Structure 1
Amino acid sequence: MNTVERHQKIIHKINHKGQVKSQMLCEELDVSSVTIRKDLKFLEEKGMLYRMHGGATLSNPYAIDRHLNEKEKLYLDEKMRIGIAASKLITVHDSVLMASGTTVLALAKNISPLENLTVITSALNVAIELNQHREIEVIQLAGILRKRSSSVTGMFAEENLKDFSCTKLFMGVDGIDLEFGLTTANVAEARLNREMIKVSQKTIVLVDSSKFGKRGFGRICGFDNIDEIITDNQISNFSKSELENFGIKITIV
């Protein structure tokens, strides 16, 4: 197999799966790791893929810290479907945590008033959305308000969480990388999300498919902390099967 044929094989495989592992390419193409590194570097320079640790991906793996106003305009239909599906998991007498993010806000917009529902949130826009329902008690965490996300972070919010025990956490993320785990673009938000996981019996991630294969600056956790991921139907079969191997329930809407 010459270089051109090898490159064609790599492009075909990454177009089919969304990402590839270097070790797998070495074995399937019967070449050394040095050769594969050169191949991936060449293809990246041609704008055909992005290299990452241990392989390559079809989309840019680095998440951007976008402003809330910009995020709200992206993947509106997908986020609304995810929000509707997540709202069905909330039951009477639930005490749930809701983190920040536009997909979590979509959940807040689709919650039907329930008797004795308590919602604790770090997101100001989520609190305002839910506060219109008399049946829902809203607890807003204290802290430093981030203007880019309209949510609080910092030690005040982290200290507040120590007084609660919640049935479910609904959390949005900026990136899901099969090696690095779940991430967000802001380190302070990542730290607060970790504290939220500690006080929740079940963690449910709400994320549209564009976030798969992405990495944010701040790592939240690995996959052993996640119970369920609700996403849209553009998730790749590869990502779905790999996440299910971690024991995570994948709900596709």
Structure 2
Amino acid sequence: MDRYARWNTLLELLTESGRVTVEEAAERLAVSQATIRRDFDQLAQQQMITRTRGGAVANGVSYDLPLRYKTAKHSAEKQRIGAAAAALVDPGMVVGLNGGTTMTEVARALAVRPELAGNADDAQFTVVTNALNIANELLVRSRMKIVVAGGVVRPQSFELVGPLGANLLREVTLDVALLGVDALDVSLGAAAHHEGEAAMNSLMVGQARRVVIIADSSKLGGHAFARICPIDRIDTLVTDSGATPEIVSAFEYAGVRVIVA
């Protein structure tokens, strides 16, 4: 287990219990107590936790962890979802992408599809995104047109939020918006933890002919602070095999096409 995977697990343990001792963490992660002490010290230096004698306590940040601490969670499922979502776009489209770990896998899957670059006479494949890391993933395709919305960077997700980016999004038209979300519920719709991200995502929805939500099964049936869009605005859901038949049926009954990767 690498450092970031350990940190992710430690932060999740603190979320569950509020307090963890060095001995408990070492036993849970099957590493030495010296390694856990170093991990705790490094997380405390970044103000992610509060160090105590013999352990650590939660510092109120696990609600919205920085992206680099989330990448180890559900990684195999997210790779499959990313490939399935990328298969829904065609050359010449204008596609909106937001940020997050699942959307990183979507971007990587798009980047290795050489047919999207097209020929010189074809309409250019264009990606509009408000996430710096997504733009970086796609820059390896030199013939893809990458449009980045402006704004203030959120370190947690590398997404740009605020009126600068909102002005750009109001002026574009998207063939499809591929959006990762923090929660998706049949009654409540799609939602994000942060209101600024939700507002940018909502603008993409408003400018898109078709909306595809990309979410692993852990996000389904949950709720988050700020709504992105109602369920009737969503055309397709791409999720993993952890989604129960009951949840899949509920989304399909609501008129959403469900793709299980």
TM-score of the aligned structures, taking structure 2 as reference length:
0.71
Residue 129 (structure 1) aligned with residue 149 (structure 2)? no
Report what 2:23 is aligned to: none
Report what 1:154 is aligned to: 162
Which letter maps to 1:157? Answer: G
Shift of 1:178: 2.7
What is the count of residue pairs matched by the alignment? 191
Contact 2:187–2:231 under 8 Å retained in 1: no
Provide the rounded CA distance (Å) in 2 between the counterparts of 1:182 and 1:196: 13
Provide the rounded CA distance (Å) in 1 between the counterparts of 2:70 and 2:209: 29
Uncovered stretches (5+) of structure 2, i.e. residues with no partner: 1-61, 119-123
Give secondary structure in 2 for the equivalent of 1:74: coil
Shift of 1:182: 1.2
Provide the rounded CA distance (Å) in 1 between the counterparts of 2:63 and 2:232: 25
Please list, as runs of the form range in 1=range in 2, the aligned pairs for 1:211-222 lying within 5 A after superposition.
211-222=219-230
Contact 2:153–2:159 under 8 Å retained in 1: yes
Shift of 1:71: 1.8
Report what 2:84 is aligned to: 85
Report what 1:103 is aligned to: 102
Please list, as runs of the form range in 1=range in 2, the aligned pairs for 1:7-22 lying within 5 A after superposition.
none
Which letter maps to 1:93? Answer: G
Uncovered stretches (5+) of structure 1, i.e. residues with no partner: 1-62
Counterpart of 1:166 (choices 174, 190, 193) is 174
Provide the rounded CA distance (Å) in 1 between the counterparts of 2:214 and 2:165: 21
- Percent identity over the alignment is 30
Provide the rounded CA distance (Å) in 2 between the counterparts of 1:65 and 1:240: 27
The higher-RCO structure (CA 8 Å, 6+ apart) is 1
Please list, as runs of the form range in 1=range in 2, the aligned pairs for 1:233-244 lying within 5 A after superposition.
233-244=241-252
Aligned-residue Cα RMSD (Å) equals 1.2
Contact 2:205–2:229 under 8 Å retained in 1: no
1:15-70 Cα shifts (integer Å, max 9, x gaps): xxxxxxxxxxxxxxxxxxxxxxxxxxxxxxxxxxxxxxxxxxxxxxxx93221012
Provide the rounded CA distance (Å) in 2 between the counterparts of 1:162 and 1:182: 20
Shift of 1:157: 0.9
1:68-105 Cα shifts (integer Å, max 9, x gaps): 01221110000000111111111111111111111111
Which letter maps to 1:168? Answer: V
Contact 1:64–1:216 under 8 Å retained in 2: no
Shift of 1:148: 0.3
